[in-house]
Chain A
Amino acid sequence: MSGMSSVSDSDLVRRCRDGDQGAWNELVERYSRYVYAIAVRGFRLPDDDVEDVFQDVFTRIYTRLDTLRDDSALRPWIAQLTRRRCLDALANKGRETPVDEAGVHEESADLADVEEAFAVREALATLSENCQDILDRFFARDQSYKTIADELDIPSGTIASRIARCLGKLRSQLEGRYDPEDGSRG
């Protein structure tokens, strides 16, 4: 669900280079939200450009994976590919104001937020499946209490308390106080 398995980026890259389709599927799953968020939130590209950027970035990742020097640096490499492709898209639109990467960085706290959000998602991936699921449904998928209750077959009156409990665990994890023994319950 989260796209954040325990497999390291290095292992994922190595397996992708060996032609492992499952590893590629996981790489796409792990980074699809990240690429999407950089384009949508970091650069605020128009909708019709976002899909082109998204597919082109993953094509570049796939075709240039052999050029990645440090396999553990997959995320910054993907971020760089995505930022460059977003800048190309903006340039192609012929914006009146020239855009350069440094300018976008200076002006956009949103790109920093995307990085921080990724760290939060990595922390989320260490929680129970139940917590991952309910927090993702409520926050990232905008599902209502009723929808969550219906789809997970749990009483709607308990949704708010479950979300609060899972947020507490997530906060503890991020602040280094999470007890994995307690993480099996959502």
Chain B
Amino acid sequence: MTRLYDEERLGVLLRILRPAPTGWVRAAQELPAARRQFDQIVARAEADASFRAALIADLEQTLAAEGYEPDRQILSEIRARLDND
């Protein structure tokens, strides 16, 4: 059955799907690169004990010194991975 819409209802519905903040959308779009970086860091931590120890001692500083710029979510996942290993 065809649903009928008046202008007021259309306006209400058009207002529901507001744009998410631009930075959030951009961060989500950059996920593939962030995941690649995550995989790279984890692989290196598994292969290099001194790198892993440095990560455990100071995660953010170690990654920054190595030229990585992971976002908050990736940092949290790396931290969790190191805790679980």
- State A177–B11 Cα separation when bound (angstroms): 19
- State A94–B15 Cα separation when bound (angstroms): 30
Chain B residues in contact with chain A, CB under 8 A?
2-7, 10-21, 24-25, 27-29, 31-32, 35, 73
Question: Considering only CB atoms and an 8 Å cut-off, how many residues of chain A contact the other chain?
Answer: 42
Q: Are B17 and A54 in contact (CB under 8 A)?
A: no
B-facing mask of A30-70, CB < 8 A → 1, else 0? 00111111001100000000010011101100110000000
Chain A residues in contact with chain B, CB under 8 A?
19, 21, 24-25, 28-29, 32-37, 40-41, 51, 54-56, 58-59, 62-63, 113-114, 116-118, 120-121, 124, 135-136, 139-141, 164, 167, 170-171, 174-176
B13 smallest CB distance to A (angstroms) = 4
A17 smallest CB distance to B (angstroms) = 12
Chain B residues touching A, majority SS: helix
A-B contact pairs, 21 of them (CB 8 A): A19-B32, A25-B29, A33-B19, A33-B20, A51-B24, A55-B24, A55-B27, A62-B32, A63-B35, A114-B17, A116-B13, A139-B11, A140-B19, A167-B10, A167-B11, A170-B10, A171-B10, A174-B10, A175-B2, A175-B3, A175-B5
* Given contact pairs A120-B14, A124-B14, A135-B14, A28 touches B19 in the complex (Cβ within 8 A): no
Option from B5, B19, B25, B29 in Cβ contact (under 8 Å) with A171: B5
Q: Are A28 and B29 in contact (CB under 8 A)?
A: yes
A residues near B12, Cβ cutoff 8 Å: 113
